[in-house]
Every structure is written in structure tokens, then in C-alpha cells.
Amino acid sequence: MGKKLYVIAGEASGDLHGGNLIRALNDQAGGEELMVRAWGGDQMQAAGAEVVKHYRELAFMGFTQVLLNLRTILGNIKACKADILSFKPDAIILIDYPGFNLRIADFAHAQGIKVFYYISPQVWAWKAGRVKTIKRVVDRMFVILPFEKDWYAERGVEVEFVGHPLLDAIEREHLELNDPNVNVDPRPVVALLPGSRMQELKRMLPVMLSVVKHFPDHRFVVAGAPSIPEEVYRSYIGSAPVELITGRTYGLLRKAKAALVTSGTATLETALIGTPEAVCYGGGAVNVWLAKRFIKVPFISLVNLIMGREVVRELIQDKLEPKELRKELDRLLNDTAYRERMKADLRELRVKLGGPGASAHVADQVWKSLHEQP
């Protein structure tokens, strides 16, 4: 008899890792029928899941956005619960996205449905009280950051460190820029990654573009997110000598000499590819005030958090201004000692995160658990 899984991811990074996990689950299934119903995106759909709600309808960023869209969020939770009951899965797999997924975990647990959580909420940064809910309603938690295992253990929760799935994603995607103009332009490339949400783009892209005129001997390329229309990028770029490439971020980062990256998953992707970078972040005044009160970590970038020290410069709020950004980009491009030290640190980061295989390991554990005798 086949198995039915319900998988939920609420943003682009979760969709990416969910897609790789579903492929690995299909490999585990072999000839056995596997039905996957999901809230996610294009990556999960391409892997064979039936996606009933796209993450574009779920991704609300920051405290104020959540409050403004609370009715929509609560409606989505209600719809998801009803769909789970209708589908009757053998288990659900939740990928990060804690505000939504922990409510679903509580519901599924009450229904007697097995709950797997892949990619822990960042409870070590804020809302540590959520660990009580996790302990009560999650059957197995798979974590992707090495320090998370000890953090949970100190609070009496056993979790499994599986390595970081970005290593799987980077292994899979050996994308190179195939634009014919790429290979005839000898200038070093600077990648600009302004984020995958509209709120981020509006804040980050203008300040990133402000440095372009100061580096005429370099080629600036914006990594476009598929979820944002091209004309939005064009409206900011205007007549500036800046290119736009969508859907080929890893290839761009491999070619880039340096990158300016909005805080988030992309900072770790950039680091694992080995590209020297600066991490940028500017949020709304209310969000920043709340973050300072409640978030209890010394850095905002996963690169620095994992390494336990400043490896990449974080330009946050008042430090994120054109003069400071230009100064840091100049160091990244022209200070040889600074570049080499950072590149060595990024190699050490890869070692800390282990090799590829997170997706396959989680799929193996989930599949074995589904076939355990009750």
C-alpha cells in the first residue's frame, strides 16, 4: 500500500529544500506509490508534489506585515487544516515557517498524524518558549545548523543534525551564465542580491545601486527573484549600467568577484559558493525596534552565527548607507589580504556544515519511520 505525505513550506528557500526532499523521498519509495500534497512552490511541484497553495500567497515579512495580514494568515491556517483532514496523510513534513507550521503541527498531533519538522525554527534567536510546543507536538526534528543540536539538548529535546540542505542544492545546480555577452566582457563581476520579497527589494536595491558609479571597471549584475516581475527591477535600475539575470543566481555567484547580499538565506548560499560578500539589511523602524527588544543573537547573518565570529561584514540600518557600502565593496574587491582571509573562513564554514546529503538522510529517516510497526 502506498504512502501519503503532506509537506508545507512558506517561502522560496523552503520550497527549494522541499523540492530536493521530495525527490529524495521518491528515490526512497522505489516502486511503492507515494502521493505528496503540498503548500509550497515551483520547486516542490517540479519534484512531483501537488501544490495546492503557492508560497507567494503566504510570505508576509516582518512584524507589521504579519499584523496587517492577520486575517489572511488565519484564513490560510483554517484552509490548510481542512485540506489535511480531507487528504488524510500518513504524516506531515513541516519546513521552517514557524508561525504557520507550529499551529499546523499542534493540529496534526491532535489528529494522531505523525509530525516531522525539517529545518528548525530559529528558536535560539527569539521565541525560545516555542521549544515547549516543539517537544509536545513534533515527533522528529531534523536540524541543519550544528549548534542547534546542543541548544535543544540543553532544553531536554533530542533532535538530529543532518547537515545543511543548501549543500545539496548547490551540488545539484551547476548553472553557468549562458548569455553570450558574459564571456566577452572582461570586467570583474559584482553580484547584487536585493532579496526575494517586494518589501526587501524596495529598501535594498536603491542603496545597492548607489555604489555602481564608483566602480566603472566592474560589471554589476542583479540576481532577480522569479517571484518579482522584471519591470519592477527595471524601474529601479533605469539607465544605470546594470544587468538583470533571473533564475541563475548560483551561476552568477560563481562568476562574481564579490557580492552585496540582503540578509537571509542568500547570505549563506553566497558563502557556501565561496564568494566574498557584505551582508545588508534595512528594515522598517517598528520592525527594527521590536527586533532589538526580542532577538537575542549577536549577528544577523547565518555565516557569522555558525562561525561564532564576524566573518562577513554586516551593514545594518544606519550603517547601510552609500558611503559605508562603497567602502566595504572596495575592500572586498581590492584588499587582497581581506579577501583571502574571508575566503579561508568560508571554506571552514563548509566543513562545519558537513557535506551534501541532508535531503537523502531526512528522506531515509522519514521513510523508515513510516514503515515502522505501530
DSSP 258-271: EEEEESSHHHHHHH
Q: What is the pLDDT of residue 291?
A: 45
pLDDT band for position 61 (cuts 50, 70, 90)? low
Whether residues 250 and 344 share a domain: the answer is yes
Q: What mean pLDDT do residues 310-336 have?
A: 94
Phi and psi at 225, nearest 5°, equal -90, 135
Q: What mean pLDDT do residues 174-187 have?
A: 56
Percentage of the chain with pLDDT > 90? 70
**Sequence-ordered list of residues with C-beta below 8 angstroms from that of 113, at least 6 positions apart, any chain:** 84, 89, 90, 91, 92
Residue with the bigger pLDDT between 295 and 112: it is 112
Please give the residue range of the domain that contains residue 121.
3-163+357-370
**Residue 63 pLDDT > 80, yes or no?**
no
Whether residues 33 and 148 share a domain: the answer is yes
Q: Please give the sequence-ordered ranges of beta strands (E in DSSP) within the chain, or none if there are none.
A: 3-9, 34-40, 50-54, 91-95, 114-118, 140-143, 160-161, 189-193, 219-224, 242-246, 256-262, 277-281, 313-316
Whether residues 180 and 311 share a domain: the answer is yes
Q: What is the pLDDT of residue 177?
A: 43
Q: What mean pLDDT do residues 174-178 have?
A: 45
Q: What is the pLDDT of residue 317?
A: 78
**Of 272, 4, 291, 292, nearest to 144 (Cα)?**
272
Query: What is the pTM for the complete model shown?
Result: 0.80
Using left for φ > 0, alpha for ψ between -120 and 50, and beta otherwise, residue 154 falls in alpha
CA distances for 302 relative to 19, 185, 195, 223, 263, angstroms: 22, 33, 15, 20, 9
Q: What is the pLDDT of residue 68?
A: 58
Whether residues 279 and 329 share a domain: the answer is yes
Residue with the bigger pLDDT between 124 and 255: it is 255
Q: What mean pLDDT do residues 287-305 have?
A: 65
Q: What is the CATH number of the domain that holds 178?
A: 3.40.50.2000
Whether residues 204 and 336 share a domain: the answer is yes
- Rounded CA separation 19/315 (Å): 32
DSSP 174: -
**Averaged pLDDT of the chain:** 88
**Sequence-ordered list of residues with C-beta below 8 angstroms from that of 262, at least 6 positions apart, any chain:** 193, 194, 195, 200, 204, 279, 280, 281
Q: What is the pLDDT of residue 286?
A: 43
**Residue 130 pLDDT > 50, yes or no?**
yes
Whether residues 132 and 178 share a domain: the answer is no
User: What's the structural domain count of the chain?
Assistant: 2
Whether residues 262 and 280 share a domain: the answer is yes
Within 10 Å of residue 17's Cβ, how many Cβ atoms? 28
Q: What is the pLDDT of residue 319?
A: 86
Whether residues 361 and 245 share a domain: the answer is no
Strand bridging mode 3-9 / 34-40: parallel
Whether residues 223 and 85 share a domain: the answer is no
**Residue 114 pLDDT > 70, yes or no?**
yes
pLDDT band for position 178 (cuts 50, 70, 90)? very low
Whether residues 109 and 248 share a domain: the answer is no
**Of 21, 53, 52, nearest to 34 (Cα)?**
21
Q: What is the pLDDT of residue 296?
A: 58
pLDDT band for position 373 (cuts 50, 70, 90)? low
- Rounded CA separation 2/6 (Å): 14
For residues 101 and 94, the answer to whether their CB atoms sit within 8 Å is yes
Whether residues 121 and 216 share a domain: the answer is no
Residue with the bigger pLDDT between 287 and 257: it is 257
**Residue 179 pLDDT > 70, yes or no?**
no
pLDDT band for position 284 (cuts 50, 70, 90)? low
Q: What is the pLDDT of residue 199?
A: 83
Whether residues 28 and 177 share a domain: the answer is no
pLDDT band for position 180 (cuts 50, 70, 90)? very low
